[in-house]
Structure formats: C-alpha cells, structure tokens
Structure 1
C-alpha cells in the first residue's frame, strides 16, 4: 500500500479508540507501543498510578541527546450534545475528507507518524528520533507534564520537537499560555427571608466574577506593542457560574470555572495577585464574620506555559526546509509545545488539519492535508540519515 493508504488505515484504527479525556487511553497507547516495538523501537509506556492512561515514548536510532521529537496527544474531546452525521468513532471517507472524532485533533498526525515509522526503522539513523504520544492534552496537558518530568529526571535532552497540532501545515512558533481554574465558595445556608443569618456563596461568587471582568478590561491596556497575537492581550473567560437550588434558600456553595490565556507571565501574576487580595482582604473576612467555616478555594485544572517565539529556532528552521514554508505564525490556542520548550528544546507546531474543524460535530481531516504531512515526514527521513 501507499503511505497515504497506510495512514488512512491506521487512522481508521485510532479513531475507533474512544479516547475522550474522561476515559482511559491505555488501549490506544498499548496499540501504538506494540506496533513501534515490532519495528525495533525502544518503547516505554509511562502510565498514571491507576494504570488507565499512559504516554508512549518510543525511540529509533542512536541513544543519547540531540534527537528529534514527533509529538501528538491521544485524547479527544467529548461528542455528547453534538449532532454527528455519522458514528464519530468510526472513520468515514467522503469527498476527499476523513470524518471522525480526533481526525484532525490530532490522530491524523499520529497516523502519519505510524505510517512513516517502518521506513524510518529500516534506515540507519544518524540522530535519535522519538515518538511521544501523550494523554489528557485537552484537560490541562497532564500527560505532557508527566512526560516532561520523566525526561527531566532522566536527563534526556532532545534538541528539537515538532508538535503535530492542526495548523493546516503552517508553522507556528508562538502561542499564549492556558491557565484553567475552578474557584469554590463555601458559605452558610439559611432561610431566604433573613439573608443576614447566612453567607450567600452565590453573592460572593458574583463579586469574584465581577473582579475577573474588571481584570479582563484592565488586561487590554497591558497588551504588548507590537503584539503578534490575536487578540493581542491576555484574555479571561468565565466558563460557568453555578450555585443554589431554589429561590428561598441562601445558597451555601457556588463554583466558577474560568480561564486566562496570558501573553506574558507578568499578566498571569497580576491576575493571581489581584484575586488573592480580593479574597484575603475583602471576601473572606466578610464571610467569616458570620460563618467562620466559610472558605474560598481555587483548584488548578491546568497551567500550561505558552510557546515563546525565539529568534533562533532550529525546529522552525528544520520544518521550513522540509516544507518550503517561509514564515511562522503565532496563534491564540494552546498546545503542549511550551512544556517541551521548558526543557530547553527548540519547538515548532506544524500538523495536518484546520483548527476550525477541531472539537466540532463532523470533525474532518482533508486527505490533501494528510498527504502534505506525509511529505514533511518523508523529507525528515532524509535529514535523519544525513551525515553531520
């Protein structure tokens, strides 16, 4: 079969694994590990303590530092409450498109890697090549954080990484960070006819939310000039505010899900410090005058570093040579790239599929995009066997 046919066949297998972040990915991880081990790769499953999820780290070529990482995440977003025309976990081909959950985000890239892997395994590589397939990117990049900790502990330092997120095969050299939180307010319930005898958790959550909106406005004035991001400033989004049961009971509990996407670390520090002052100096003292047991707790769902554009970037230069691209972009969506960059690696994001198709019903990957990705990986083969 051709590389494209091999990729589509592998994508068909990968889509059939329902690796929604809330579910295990271990079956897909074992499948990938087994296939790579059969090619002679040095393979490790880096599992969570309960064994339900795992990263796959597989290496070809010589051991040691200075290698290239091809990375993608195995998890996908849910399909509930979406109106799909076909089974989201069964690959469907039509009109030059490959439909299914995760086809572009980002099992298409993984399938392309797996199709090219036999060719790479058969060559005498002059530098290490690592396949890094992670879990739980969609819920805080938890797998990549685990993987980076493992690499740091082992003092393994690849030189560069290509993260195959859907960029329509454009090079991306920068993106904002992504910090996700749930803030929980605990007050004291009571009868709605006498609000002063209770502590209304919803009211304090509303005040907290109002400060978030004030900060959002404040952050627009802090935008760097010039900025390559769109929008150019750090953003804040309120995803959910919930609390209370009925109209005549003082609600003892409320929650806010919120996120920020910082352009700079200083912006993130500014937001956290402002909220900490609000809680410690205003909200909690008021709540505890009536109910000493009152509490405000912020749980970190995920804090993922942004990808900082670098003047010198070997990964960008390599992908430019492989694809013929002559420019790199910055984007507002987040990836695992900043975590790899934190190890001192050069990193670029480049993969098949359009981000506009991700997370939607009838998600699809164009076969032309898959072919373009295969062209890049085939060109990489020549680089890996070249004497240096």
Structure 2
C-alpha cells in the first residue's frame, strides 16, 4: 500500500460516528504530526470526549496554506453493507469503508504528505485543521475557527477536502434548520370542530412553505453551476397525535432551508416567521393558546469564491490541465472559514459524494493518487516560496500527476 492508503486503513478502523469519542483517532493523528515536526493544539468539546486539532508546519507567519478536513462519519446502522464498514477493503481499484469518500480519504492524503515534511524547508506555514461533528451541523470546527480568527492567522488559501472528484469547488449552499412545534386545543374527535387540531396548523404551515418555495423558484436569486440554482425549503418530518378519536394538541415538524450565498438568511427566516403568524391569525381570538413555535436548530453559511482570486488561480495551476469547476449542493465547513477569515476558500478532495453516507462507501485508488500529487504541488507553490511564479512547475518530489 502507499502511505496514503495505509493512513486510510488506520482512519477507517476508528468508528468516529458522532455518538462516539474521536480521541483515539485524534491521538494517533497528533502523535504522527508531532513526530514529523508539527506544532499541535487541541480544541476539546465540553464533554472532553471529542477534540479538533490544529497543526502547523513551518514558520508562524502570515500566508501559506491551510488544509481542512473532518474525521467524523455518519452511522452505518440499518445499512446493507457487503464489506466490513470499519475495516478497509481493497477491490477492483477501490478502497471501501465508512468515511473513505467523506472524507477520510483526503485526511489520509494530508497525513501521508505531512510525514514527508520533516526534511523539507517551508518558507510559509502549512496549517492542518482536523474537526469533529461536521456531519451534525459543523459543530467541532467553530471553536477552532474562532481561535484562528482571534490569533490573526490568515493563510493565502484554505482548502476544504470534501469529495469533488478533485475538481475545483468554488461554492456550496448554506443551511438553516428548524424545529416547528404546533400547539392546538384537544377534544374528542366527535366534537372536532370545537377543538383546534395541531396537525391542521402544521399542515397549513407546510402549505405556506410550499408557496414560499414557488415564489423563490420564480423570483429568488440564482447562481449558475448548481443542480438546483436557487434556495430550497424542505420539510423532512411531521409527527403528531396519538389515537384517531382524539384531536391532537401537539404536532412537530422538522424543516430546512438550503440557501445560495447571495441569499439573506435573516430575511428568509423572517419570511418563515410571517408564514407562522399568518396561519395562527384566524384562531387568535378563539384559541389564544394556539402557537407555532419556530426554533433554529442549526445553521451554516454558504460559500461563493471568486474564480479570479490569485490564490485560487495558483491552486488551479496545481491541478491537471482541463480539470473542471464545480458548485456543491451539500454543505461544508468552507463557508464558515470564508465568513470568519479574510482568505479565499476552495473545496477540493478525492472521491465522489454520491458514495458518501451510503453502504459500501468507497474511494478510487486513482483519486487518492491524484490528491497526493495535487497537495504536494500546492505545498510547493504556497509554502516553499513559489506562489508568485505563474510559470513555476513544481518538482514532483512527493508523487506524480
């Protein structure tokens, strides 16, 4: 196996779902980085059972490159795997295992590169940012970003290694998630017109959201490159009631909005609040206890990176000729980095998100090899003094394209 494949096998063996600790994996990564000469700092969660990790190679100065990835994975419960999910399986040029695509493949490539840096002189820093609980709302990266911002760390470029098939990812949608609790007035179903059905309130609210979606589709901001080039409003769960002969007084729905970077999330949240008010208005006098409580349960911003930014162009020069650009409908931590730091952020990593979260998740060996070469070239360009040379062709000292 290559060093990257060896690291991927080690990473997959840690079942770092959000319900479990990630400390054994962070400890293994940290020990390897320290041995290679990095300066490391942990950012533990309030329970002390999880931690993010920030590492630096080279001088503690402005500029350089930051490589960012998360090591948490989604659960495998209820999925029909034909290979062990937490043991790497090699078959037909593919490497199978939970997280192989999303996104331990990228982290493995970063680690293999880091282990080769002990004899390389860097003129600008290489930062490695490893986070936890990305899959449940980009939780673990936030305290680390706050510290990075407060310390004035400003890389020339931040690369978030979510799977893009090694295309240049220039944007992704943001997200707002809500829990909406409907409160009605119960009564025996034989006298249902004298009650207020919480499920009816909830479904009226859903209809309001559907009208909002139609309006966004017709007149909302659009950004090219996305499969759906406008914001989306989606209800994923609706529950309420206990038995058929009792009018329910409680119902709950879970919803989300996926927004373009140009959308105003506060304005969209206000529109959702007004839909709730409009649903309740006819019942206020007769049923003062009626309510539609809209609670924000998590959010992250979208990303829109300037394609003409010099650092983005420099990284694009590290990719094979003819590499395409892409815009991601799924969210990443990139928007948080871009929002907090005065630095361009791109998304580029091995594998295909179509494999992520699914049984028999895999990454192609060829994708890892390409990632190894691109990261080596990007370190040459951003951390070894060659950023200003547009004609520079990096030495292939770590791998081949």
Contact 1:167 1:352 in 2 (8 A): yes
Q: Distance in 2 between matches of 1:45 and 1:52?
A: 12
Q: Distance in 1 between matches of 2:48 and 2:78?
A: 29
User: Is 1:82 aligned to residue 55 of structure 2?
Assistant: no
3-state DSSP of counterpart to 2:317: helix
Partner of 2:385: 386
Residue of 337, 351, 355 corresponding to 1:353: 351
Contact 2:88 2:96 in 1 (8 A): yes
Gaps of 5+ in 1: none
TM-score (norm 2): 0.89
Contact 1:184 1:297 in 2 (8 A): yes
Q: Distance in 1 between matches of 2:69 and 2:310?
A: 19
Partner of 1:371: 369
The 10-residue stretch of structure 1 (226-235 or 253-262) with the greater mean CA deviation from structure 2: 226-235
User: Is 1:317 aligned to residue 313 of structure 2?
Assistant: yes
Residue of 61, 65, 75 corresponding to 1:64: 61
Q: Give the superposed CA RMSD.
A: 2.1
Partner of 2:215: 218
Residue of 196, 205, 209 corresponding to 1:208: 205
Q: Distance in 2 between matches of 1:286 and 1:54?
A: 48
Gaps of 5+ in 2: 389-401
1:335-354 matches, within 5 Å, as 335-342=332-339, 343-354=341-352
Q: Residues 225 and 283 (structure 1 numbering): CA distance in 2 closer, same or farther, change over 3 Å?
A: closer
> C-alpha displacement at 1:257, in angstroms?
1.3
Partner of 1:160: 157
Contact 2:55 2:128 in 1 (8 A): yes
User: Is 1:122 aligned to residue 110 of structure 2?
Assistant: no
Partner of 2:133: 136
Q: Distance in 2 between matches of 1:189 and 1:108?
A: 53
User: Is 1:29 aligned to residue 26 of structure 2?
Assistant: yes
Query: CA offsets, 1:115-149, max 9 Å, x none?
Result: 11121232111101111011111111112222222
Partner of 2:245: 248
Q: Distance in 1 between matches of 2:215 and 2:349?
A: 35
Q: Distance in 1 between matches of 2:233 and 2:4?
A: 39
Q: Distance in 2 between matches of 1:226 and 1:90?
A: 40
Q: Distance in 2 between matches of 1:314 and 1:90?
A: 41
> C-alpha displacement at 1:27, in angstroms?
2.3
TM-score (norm 1): 0.92
Contact 2:171 2:327 in 1 (8 A): yes
> C-alpha displacement at 1:305, in angstroms?
0.9
The 10-residue stretch of structure 1 (195-204 or 122-131) with the greater mean CA deviation from structure 2: 195-204
3-state DSSP of counterpart to 2:2: helix
Q: Distance in 1 between matches of 2:66 and 2:264?
A: 31
Q: Distance in 1 between matches of 2:285 and 2:96?
A: 54
Q: Distance in 1 between matches of 2:80 and 2:279?
A: 45
Q: Residues 197 and 306 (structure 1 numbering): CA distance in 2 closer, same or farther, change over 3 Å?
A: same
Q: Distance in 1 between matches of 2:313 and 2:16?
A: 33
User: Is 1:10 aligned to residue 3 of structure 2?
Assistant: no
Query: CA offsets, 1:299-355, max 9 Å, x none?
Result: 323211111131432442232111134542223222111111111211111100011
> C-alpha displacement at 1:65, in angstroms?
2.1
